[in-house]
Amino acid sequence: MMSQKRGFERRDVLRAGGLVLGGSLVSGSTTAAEGSSTAADTTLTVLSYNDIQTAAAEDKTFPRLVTLIEQRRAAADGPVVVVGGGDQVGPHALGPLSQWRCPVDVLNLVGSDADVIGNHEFDYGLDAITDAESGGGVTNDSQFPWLATNLVDADTGEAFAGTESFEVVARGGVRVGLIGLIDEGATYGKTNIDFEAEGLRVEDYTETGPAEAARLRAEEDVDVVVALAHTGVPDAEALAEADTDDAIDVVVAGDDEIVYPPAETSGTVVTEGEARANYLGELHLHVDTDAGAVTGFEGDLLPVTEEIPKDPDASAIIDDYRGEAKLDTVIAETETPLDARFATNYHRESTYGNLVTDAMRERTGADVAITNAGGIRSNAVYGPGQITGGDVFNTLPFANTLVTVELTGEELVETLASQVITLESDTGQAFGEEISQQVSGVRFEWVPHEGVDEQVRDVRVGGEPVDPEATYDVAVNSFIADGGSGYPLADKPRIAETDVLLATAVVEYLDARGTVAPTVEGRMQRVDRDLTDASVTVDGNGKVVAQFDTPDDVESVATDTVAVWSPDGERVAAEHAVFDAEEETLVVRVDDAPLAETVADAADGEDLPLDLYAEYESSEFDHVYFERSRLNADVTATVRERGRAAGAPTGR
């Protein structure tokens, strides 16, 4: 039940860090002016973290976060509560081996007052949330409660087994009510669990949250309500706006992993501390305990830096688990950077994606390999330099195994197209157009716009055009084989199922080579607009010149991006390119010699397909992620033997 579909992990930073001073709030039925105080004022400090994920298996930021929590708890002038925003126990490098145990053991040192069940708490399946029979499970092993206020038993309306609907903490004369909320996107959207079939109901967090907060004020006599919302900041703000009675004072968000220092929305403070134990949220609430109201706040996100010492007990826990898994063994060296960043792997071909899918294809002998972008984690770049087993498990932290399915050519195209996110979609407007996967053994163009005939086109397998009627062996991970991330594969024939972890396959692939140097090869080419086609002659003796009519939206062409690609991924940069805005033409000149090298195996007189790509400024497309739009032209190259008179190349 691996939760690998992207929530908002790669969202750009919304706000710069910095101390937020002198905020005023409306809490309960009491409104207080900025900076006001009463004799009953108490300063309550809320310390928060979220989305620890891959940091859970590294002796880096996580032990420092434990230390920072203790430091800030000791420095507080009044009572302190410590809370989490979910996604703490996965994914991480130890997940396939020790599952939730390492992060839970470390979190038990923190003395958290509560956390919220996030989508990655389901990484080990629904039963692993609480496993009473074996005495284990995420919640049974935790010495603090996990909240699921709006994910309830469909029959009873109560929080599902192993979780609580709320928690009340009485400390220093202040009663704090804690609730835990999750949205549809972090349940059905990011797991393969059928919650309805499991007898669970996901209630609308914007309704259940305010209602439960109001109940806590009325029935539990709380002074402050803190909602732990694994929803992301935009939905956390929607929760604040839906709370018309101002029953919720604070929303500690998780899921979209952005830097969002405490800020007021509709009388509620919303905050989120990115992810991977990089920040600790610190919020000081001025509480009038006579009125049961928050009268003001200050807050900040505190960075977890190398100057903060590691908690020795936390480090020992992590190192013991890593030692058992042999994660610190060097297995290979890479001569090129391995890019495991979210932004890269969702938007374009990556060096690490190529390495992973090449390993999948070699291990299975499949024609094609595909893996989902959300299955590649850590949001980091590795190398050039040594690569350890822990690096691989950190980037591939799910217990995914290799599965080979049989697809027709038509089904393969449909599968590839299922991951295209258009620029015009809501997701595209937030994050830019996306291809959302990495591949091996297949090359194609993708058109990220609504209303086009084909969003995936010019598909080639093994260098040959895909045959819609033929069948192909396609290696995938078990998550997407089951239909995860929207892949249409759940009902497809399975040729082979293995118990080989994807991470293990990559480790063994690296270990067998010792040194690797993956590059970007043009496996997935983005195209926004088409140029006219062209025909040229290639003999290696001169220059190839072609002229193209350009679409109306072309304002300028980035001439240094103009290049010709062969079907097997060889790239030849244009020697010269000139765009004429008045004539709406693009003239491209390519040195014939390197172009001839890319088609060296072709016979005399043979026609070969080439593709020309160029980036341009568009008067129509306003990109979010990419810097420029992209043009494509199909170029038919007629091959002539070197030394023969070839005649003049032809354009258009």
pLDDT for residue 135: 65
Based on the domain organization, do 506 and 559 belong to the same domain?
no
More confident position, 215 or 500? 215
In a domain, 226, yes or no: yes
pLDDT per position as a tens digit, 131-152: 756 668 999 999 999 999 999 9
Per the domain annotation, does 650 fall within a domain? no
Instruction: Give the list of residues 6+ apart from residue 524 with CB closer than 8 angstroms, or none.
Output: 348, 349, 435, 439, 443, 444, 445, 446
If one counts every other C-beta atom within 10 angstroms of the C-beta of residue 67, the result is 17
pLDDT digits (tens, 9 = 90+) for 204-220: 999 999 999 999 999 99
The token pair that represents 467 in the structure block? 């045959």
| Confidence bin at 477 (pLDDT 50/70/90) | very high
CB of 117 closer than 8 Å to CB of 150? no
Same domain, 480 and 567: no
Domain annotation covers residue 623: yes
Q: Does 182 share its domain with 247?
A: yes
Tell me the CA distances in angstroms from 376 to 177, 200, 511, one per residue in order.
37, 29, 20
Residue 1 within a domain: no
Read off the pLDDT of each residue in 473-489 and give the average, rounded to a whole number: 95
pLDDT at 631 over 90: yes
Q: Among 47-56, 73-82, 503-512, 565-574, where is mean pLDDT lowest?
A: 565-574
Cβ–Cβ < 8 Å for 477, 403: yes
Instruction: Say whether 147 sits in a helix, a strand or coil.
Output: strand
Quick one: pLDDT band at residue 539, thresholds 50, 70, 90? confident
**Same domain membership, residue 334 and residue 311:** no
**Is the per-residue pLDDT at 27 higher than 90?**
no
- Residue-wise pLDDT for 69-96, tens only, equals 999 999 999 999 999 999 999 888 888 7
Angle at 127 between CA 122 and CA 129, to 5 degrees: 50
Residues 406 and 509 reside in one and the same domain: yes
Q: Look at residues 355, 371, 378 and name the one whose alpha carbon lies nearest to residue 58.
A: 378
Sign of CA dihedral 300, 306, 312, 315: positive
What's residue 449's pLDDT? 97
252 closest CA partner among 204, 197, 182: 182
- Nearest one of 574, 467, 444 to 521, comparing CA atoms: 444
Do strands 529-530 and 442-446 pair parallel, antiparallel, or not at all (unpaired)?
Answer: unpaired
Based on the fold, state whether residues 532 and 620 are members of the same structural domain.
yes
Residue type, 386: Q
How far is it, in rounded angstroms, from Cα 37 to Cα 139? 40
In sequence order, the 6+-apart residues with CB closer than 8 A to the CB of 366 are 360, 404, 441, 472, 473, 474, 475
| Containing structural domain, residue 559 | 527-639
* Strand residue runs (E) in 313-384: 330-334, 338-339, 368-372, 381-382
Domain end (from 491, 516, 541):
516
Q: What is the 3-state secondary structure (H, E, C) of 491-553?
A: CCCEEEEEEEEHHHHHHHHHHHHCEECCCCCCCEEECCEECCCEEEEECCCCEEEEEEECCCC
Q: Are residues 52 and 198 in the same domain?
A: yes
Q: Looking at per-residue confidence, does 484 or 65 come out higher?
A: 65
281-295, 321-335, 371-385, range with the lowest pLDDT: 321-335
Any domain includes 333: yes
Number of residues written out for the chain: 652
* Predicted pLDDT of residue 193: 87
Task: Please give the structure tokens belonging to residue 135.
Answer: 């005495």
Q: Indicate the residue among 468, 484, 516 that finishes a domain.
A: 516
- What's the number of domains the chain is made of? 3
Give the per-residue pLDDT at 125: 87
**Nearest of 357, 353, 365 to residue 495 by alpha carbon:** 365
Give dist(CA 504, CA 143) in Å, integer: 32
Residue 489 maps to which CATH number? 3.90.780.10
Higher pLDDT, 640 or 299: 299
Residue 16 has pLDDT above 70, yes or no: no
Non-local (6+) Cβ contacts of 183 within 8 A are: 202, 205, 230, 231, 232, 235
Record the tokens describing residue 574, joined without a space.
């244009």
Mean pLDDT of all residues in the chain?
90
Report the C-alpha gap between 475 and 403 in whole angstroms: 6
Q: Distance between CA atoms of 252 and 50, rounded to whole angstroms? A: 8
Question: 495, 516, 537: which is the final residue of a domain?
Answer: 516
Pairing status of strand 494-501 against strand 471-477: unpaired
* Type of residue found at 16: A
Spatial distance between the Cα atoms of 428 and 229, rounded to a whole number of angstroms? 24
505 with 605, same domain: the answer is no
Q: What is the pLDDT of residue 7?
A: 36
- Residue 229 CB partners (closer than 8 Å, separation 6+): 85, 116, 180, 181, 182, 205, 209, 235, 236, 239, 251, 252, 253, 254
Q: What was the pLDDT predicted at 151? A: 95
Residue 573, phi then psi, degrees to nearest 5: -70, 145
265 located within any domain: no
Number of other residues whose CB lies within 10 A of the CB of residue 604: 11
Distances (CA, A) of 344 to 3, 175, 443, 503, 567: 19, 45, 18, 20, 23
Q: Tell me how crowded residue 22 is: count the other CB atoms within 10 A of its CB.
A: 9
* pLDDT at residue 178 in the model: 98
pLDDT tens digits for range 227-270:
999 999 999 999 999 999 999 999 999 999 999 999 999 999 99
For residue 61, what are its two tokens? 């930021």
- What DSSP string runs through 60-121? SHHHHHHHHHHHHHHH-SS-EEEEE-S--S-S-TTHHHHTTHHHHHHHHHHT-SBEE--GGG
Does residue 213 sit in the same domain as residue 340? no
Same domain assignment for residues 478 and 552: no
Strands 524-526 and 442-446: parallel
Question: Within this chain, do residues 463 and 436 fall inside the same structural domain, yes or no?
Answer: yes
Q: What's phi and psi for 413, nearest 5 deg?
A: -65, -45
Residue 429 in 3-state DSSP? Answer: helix
In a domain, 522, yes or no: no
Model pLDDT, residue 647? 42
The one-letter amino acid at 31: T
AA letter at 66: V
* Residue 24 confidence (pLDDT) above 70: no
User: Which contacts (CB < 8 Å, 24+ apart) does range 354-358 have?
Assistant: 354/438, 354/440, 354/518, 354/519, 354/520, 354/521, 354/523, 355/506, 355/509, 355/510, 355/516, 355/518, 356/396, 356/438, 356/502, 356/506, 357/438, 357/439, 357/440, 357/441, 357/475, 358/440, 358/509, 358/518
Phi and psi of 648, rounded to 5°?
-75, 135
Give the residue with greater pLDDT, 97 vs 305.
305
Q: What pLDDT band is residue 608 in, cutting at 50, 70 and 90?
A: confident
* pLDDT given at position 98: 85
**CATH number of the domain where residue 538 is located:** 2.60.40
Q: 627 and 536 in one domain?
A: yes
Q: What is the CATH number of the domain that holds 233?
A: 3.60.21.10
Contact 463, 367 (CB under 8 A): no
597 falls within a domain: yes
Assess contact for 394 and 374: CB atoms under 8 A: no
User: 320-357, pLDDT tens digit by residue?
Assistant: 988 877 788 899 999 999 999 999 999 999 999 999 99
Give the rounded percent of residues in the chain with a pLDDT score beyond 90: 76
